[in-house]
Structure 1
Amino acid sequence: MRDRREPPTLADLAAGDRPAEPADARPFWEVKRLEEMTAAEWESLCDGCARCCLNKLEDWDTGEIHWTNVACRLLDDGTCRCRDYENRTVEVPDCIPLDPKAIEELSWLPPTCGYRLVGEGRTLRWWHPLVSGDPETVHQAGISVRGMTISEEGLQLEDYEHHLVDWPGEEE
């Protein structure tokens, strides 16, 4: 079974922490609203891209969000997972935990984010682990930030503008 600091993996879900299938046999993310999901269902919506763990810059005049490859100090660049998921909001006070209300309000969630897609009534992408059955497909599809980040540790805020990037799927 998984370390409780990490969201459930597909193996965990298969081992008994699996969300219940709805009566009509469609996947839970197609029939439930975000607010109706169990904790295991909610956590499994994370595709593991880790884009939400990147620092973003907002243009104060236009409100436009600019992406960087500067990662939260807790992000493991190799796994795209938080090194201290359970305590992340204590370790990083400006970490924003995702919940259904936050999903509605956060303009910077990637358009490919499973939470955002389901919240908008759209379908998960082929590479999402719940669809593909493989947590590696998000990386193989080039959607994740695996191997492309630098840590915010030791970096000055004024240097972030030198780390602006465009991620796949941002043009949606």
Structure 2
Amino acid sequence: MDTSAPFWRAKTLDVMTRAEWESLCDGCGRCCLHKLRDDETDRLAYTDIACRLLDGETCRCKDYANRKKRVPDCVKLTPARVAAVDWLPPTCAYRLVGEGRDLPWWHPLVSGRAETVHEAGVSVRGRIVAERDAGDFEDHVVSWPGRWPAKARHQPATTRPRKPG
């Protein structure tokens, strides 16, 4: 194992420590959006409706430690589940690392700042509807959670490391 590389490049998901695993979550909140699955076609549709425990400003769970008790259908990610589910957004660090890819510039482990996930337009901040206000979920189908935001593709010059000189 390459000890000079960051842990997400040097380790597979199944050998990470709990702290490493938890730090992979970038705080985007996309996985906490309700998804709909067509019974006949098995097609997945994302909505802009947030789980009742998702904080719309921080994009983090308001009761992470007790989420399974409070929201029984909340899915606890494991390396096996990451490989099996089809609903993780394309920007998800668990998905990226599981596929052998690197973390993007805006991920807090790379940028060193939690705000870059929001600045890059990856998070759900300002884009969600609360469950209690949603009405018919079918009226809230959106495509953006399943896409890589244009702003997130290219690192802005203001966040690029400076060249020695």
Coarse TM-score class (shorter-chain normalised): 0.7 to 0.9
2:57 is the alignment partner of 1:59: no
Counterpart CA distance in 2 for 1:141 and 1:81 is 17
Tell me, yes or no, if the aligned pair for 1:67 and 1:165 is still in contact at 8 Å. yes
* Counterpart position of 1:14: none
1:62-141 matches, within 5 Å, as 62-141=41-120
TM-score (norm 1): 0.81
Spell out structure 1 runs of 4+ moving beyond 6 A.
Answer: none
2:19 corresponds, among 17, 40, 65, to: 40
**Cα pair distance change 1:162/1:72, threshold 3 Å:** same
1:160 aligns to 2:137 (yes or no): yes
Question: Residues 43-67 of structure 1: CA distance to partner in whole angstroms, max 9, x if unpaired?
Answer: 0000111011000011222222111
Cα distance in 2 for residues equivalent to 1:139 and 1:29:
21
**Alpha-carbon distance in structure 2 between the residues aligned to 1:138 and 1:80:** 10
Retained in 2: the 8 A contact 1:143–1:167? Answer: no
Count of residue pairs brought into register by the alignment? 149
Render the CA deviation track for 1:132-157: whole Å, top value 9, x for unaligned.
Answer: 1111111000011012111112644x
> What's the TM-score once normalised by structure 2's chain length?
0.85
Q: Is the 8 A contact 1:142 1:168 kept in 2?
A: no
- For the residues of structure 2 that align with 1:108 and 1:124, how far apart are their CA atoms? 19
For 1:160, the aligned partner's letter is F
Partner secondary structure for residue 109 of structure 2:
helix
Question: Equivalent residues in 2 for 1:143-158 (5 A)?
Answer: 143-153=122-132, 155-156=134-135
One-letter identity of the residue aligned with 2:25: C
CA distance in 2 between partners of 1:169 and 1:89 (Å): 24
SS in 2 for 1:131: helix
Instruction: Give the aligned CA root-mean-square deviation in angstroms.
Output: 1.7
1:34, CA displacement in angstroms?
Answer: 0.5
Q: Distance in 2 between matches of 1:51 and 1:169?
A: 9
Q: Assess if the C-alpha contact under 8 Å between 1:49 and 1:138 holds in 2.
A: yes
Rounded to whole Å, the distance in 2 between the matches of 1:134 and 1:168 is: 22
Cα distance in 2, alignment partners of residues 171 and 23 from structure 1 = 29
Offset at 1:167? 1.4
**Among the aligned pairs, what percent are the same residue?**
58
